[in-house]
């Protein structure tokens, strides 16, 4: 699908004046996606607080005084309101916190955020991978956070992006729709409304099971890396999607996708096969998954990992394949392909993914019936436990700004929204190359 290229002028005094009427947005994670997202939002006139745990990653941005955005989303020079490795400094004064780190960093971030969060703040995991928002809520609760804070997750990122040089971000492709679910679920409409102030492509998902099982990264990332293990370990350059996914590798991914869809059906979740996901998200249609991937022009030029220390394994296995297999095991769905990929990666890297990944036992969700699981992932509380969220519910926007929130977005239908691609092309997230 062709995206219209948008040109942003450098941040001018007029653009800076617009910042005075907008609340700052915190972006946690200054990797490939975090920098692209920060640049694009700043070019739209939003004051951005960009945080990264290690100050070394921030030095090129501080030295340059901003980020240059290039590629499918448009181009321009963006100046950020705040660049910091101090988490409290990043989130103070913000209502919206966008977490764009790898999912493996979610729990440590939640521990550090727990004493810093204030009533009315919204955390959005971009994305949550599988059951990420539940995991974060559980950790916030354990660390004493009992305020009126909303946690939500996206099923994917809107951009495929790379940092291509010091303070330079390239967007390779743009997604047309991004699903969102919040805890408790009644706040999903409110969160979608907040996000649509930034981009019009966000739409409500049915619940965290839908966003979690619609995690396409677990399909497109680990299997191609494991199928090209020698090339990746040797650091040989090749394109991940066009060269790393041959017809045979694509059939392996399709077999894994059938397991994902079977688990979803058992849990009452309606999902699209990966081939249709490519068609709806990127406009890349094909009679097979291999053909659709080859037609996805935005994937061309995206390099494969050059070492085994890649989030395509270290994030997508524990936060994607492991919870998928765990759900299958608990609810009577066989997942031999997912199990095999986890075992193969464990043998190759010498790591026990089952003990470190998001199993239902580790998440405190084992022993629930299907209906109890779905209710828990809609309310944010286990059966018989006191709700974490205050009731009657006020929206965080009402608390943070002291005024009545706008009408919530309807959450009754997950139908795709009409999207003007020329106006959409601008979100990125994640600390590594996005799908």
Alpha-carbon torsion 191, 193, 196, 197, what sign? negative
Residue 74, pLDDT score: 79
Burial of 234 (0-12, 13-18, 19+ CB in 10 A): exposed
Active-site entry in 8, 32, 172, 221: 221
Least confident among 189-198, 293-302, 372-381: 293-302
User: Rounded to whole angstroms, what are the CA distances from 223 to 188, 210, 227, 288, 309?
Assistant: 32, 22, 6, 17, 15
User: What's the Rg (C-alpha) of the chain?
Assistant: 20
Residue 289, pLDDT score: 95
Residue 72, pLDDT score: 83
Confidence band for 393, pLDDT divided at 50, 70 and 90: very low
Q: What value does the mean pLDDT take over residues 352-376? A: 96
DSSP conformational letter for 319:
I
Q: How far is CA 345 from the centre of its chain?
A: 23
How many CB atoms sit inside 10 A of residue 86's CB? 12
Q: Has residue 371 got a pLDDT over 80?
A: yes
Percent of the chain with pLDDT over 70: 84
Q: How far is CA 346 from the centre of its chain?
A: 24
Helix, strand, or coil (residue 201): coil
User: Rounded to whole angstroms, what are the CA distances from 240 to 109, 174, 236?
Assistant: 30, 17, 11
Least confident among 137-141, 246-250, 278-282, 400-404: 400-404
Asked whether 35 and 101 are in contact (CB, 8 A), the reply is no
Residue 388, pLDDT score: 60
Active-site entry in 40, 135, 316, 330: 316
Residue 151 vs residue 74, higher pLDDT: 151
**How far is Cα 281 from Cα 293, in angstroms, rounded to an integer?**
12
221 is catalytic: yes
Q: Has residue 263 got a pLDDT over 70?
A: yes
Confidence band for 280, pLDDT divided at 50, 70 and 90: confident
Q: What value does the mean pLDDT take over residues 378-391? A: 73
Q: What value does the mean pLDDT take over residues 60-88? A: 93
Tokens of 371: 């209906």
- CB-based contacts of 242-245 (< 8 A; 24+ apart in sequence): 242/293, 242/294, 242/299, 242/300, 243/304, 244/304, 245/220, 245/290, 245/293
**How far is Cα 99 from Cα 43, in angstroms, rounded to an integer?**
19
Asked whether 11 and 1 are in contact (CB, 8 A), the reply is no
Confidence band for 386, pLDDT divided at 50, 70 and 90: low
Residue 332, pLDDT score: 98
Least confident among 121-125, 241-245, 428-432: 428-432
Q: What value does the mean pLDDT take over residues 378-398? A: 65
Residue 47 vs residue 17, higher pLDDT: 47
End-to-end alpha carbon distance in the chain: 16
Residue 280 vs residue 13, higher pLDDT: 280
pTM: 0.85
Q: Tens of pLDDT along 197-213?
A: 998 889 999 999 999 99
Q: What value does the mean pLDDT take over residues 408-431? A: 32
Q: What value does the mean pLDDT take over residues 205-224? A: 96
Residue 17, pLDDT score: 40
Q: What value does the mean pLDDT take over residues 91-102? A: 96
Buried b or exposed e, range 302-330, using 16+ CB within 10 angstroms = bebbeebebbbbbbbbbbbbbbbbbbbbb
Q: What is the maximum span of the chain, computed from C-alpha positions, in angstroms? A: 61
Residue 431, pLDDT score: 33
Q: Has residue 3 got a pLDDT over 60?
A: no
Domains and CATH numbers, the chain: 13-214+413-424 (3.40.50.720), 217-373 (1.10.1040.10)
Q: What value does the mean pLDDT take over residues 67-92? A: 93
Least confident among 2-11, 53-62, 247-256, 352-361: 2-11
Q: Tens of pLDDT along 295-343?
A: 888 788 889 999 999 999 999 999 999 999 999 999 999 999 999 999 9
**How far is Cα 8 from Cα 133, in angstroms, rounded to an integer?**
33
Residue 405, pLDDT score: 37
316 is catalytic: yes
Confidence band for 390, pLDDT divided at 50, 70 and 90: low
Q: Tens of pLDDT along 230-252?
A: 999 999 999 999 999 999 999 99
Q: What value does the mean pLDDT take over residues 66-84? A: 92
């Amino acid at each position: 699908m062709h995206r219209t290229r948008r040109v942003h002028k450098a941040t001018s005094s007029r653009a800076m004046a617009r910042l005075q009427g907008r609340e700052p947005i915190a972006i946690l994670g200054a990797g490939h996606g975090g920098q692209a997202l920060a640049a694009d939002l700043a070019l739209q006139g939003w004051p951005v607080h960009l945080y990264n745990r290690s100050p070394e990653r921030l030095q090129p941005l501080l030295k340059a005084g901003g980020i240059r955005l290039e590629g499918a989303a448009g181009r321009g020079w963006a100046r950020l309101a705040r660049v910091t490795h101090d988490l409290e400094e990043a989130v103070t004064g913000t209502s919206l916190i966008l977490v764009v780190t790898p999912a493996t960093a979610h729990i440590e971030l939640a521990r550090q955020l727990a004493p810093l969060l204030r009533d009315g703040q919204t955390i959005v995991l971009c994305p949550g991978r599988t059951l990420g928002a539940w995991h974060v809520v559980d950790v916030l609760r354990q660390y004493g956070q009992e305020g009126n804070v909303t946690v939500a997750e996206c099923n994917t990122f809107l951009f495929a992006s790379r940092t291509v040089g010091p303070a330079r971000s390239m967007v390779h492709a743009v997604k047309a729709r991004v699903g969102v679910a919040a805890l408790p679920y009644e706040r999903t409409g409110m969160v979608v409304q907040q996000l649509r102030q930034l981009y019009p492509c966000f739409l409500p998902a049915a619940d965290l099971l839908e966003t979690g099982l619609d995690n396409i990264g677990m399909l497109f990332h680990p299997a191609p890396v494991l199928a090209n293990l020698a090339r990746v370990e040797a650091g040989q350059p090749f394109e991940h999607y066009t060269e790393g996914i041959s017809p045979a590798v694509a059939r392996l991914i399709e077999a894994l996708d059938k397991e994902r869809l079977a688990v979803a059906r058992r849990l009452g979740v309606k999902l699209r096969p990966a081939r249709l996901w490519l068609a709806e998200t990127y406009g890349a249609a094909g009679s097979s998954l291999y053909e659709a991937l080859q037609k996805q022009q935005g994937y061309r030029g995206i390099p494969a990992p050059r070492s085994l220390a890649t989030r395509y394994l270290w994030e997508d296995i524990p936060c994607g394949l492991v919870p998928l297999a765990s759900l299958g095991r608990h609810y009577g769905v066989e997942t031999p392909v997912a199990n095999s990929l986890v075992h193969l990666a464990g043998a190759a890297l010498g790591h026990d993914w089952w003990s470190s990944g998001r199993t239902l036992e580790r998440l405190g969700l084992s022993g629930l019936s299907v209906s109890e699981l779905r209710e828990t992932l809609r309310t944010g509380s286990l059966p018989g436990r006191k709700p974490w969220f205050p009731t009657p519910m006020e929206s965080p926007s009402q608390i943070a700004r002291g005024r009545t929130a706008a009408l919530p977005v309807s959450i009754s239908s997950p139908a795709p929204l009409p999207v003007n691609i020329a106006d959409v092309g601008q979100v990125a997230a994640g600390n590594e190359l996005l799908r």
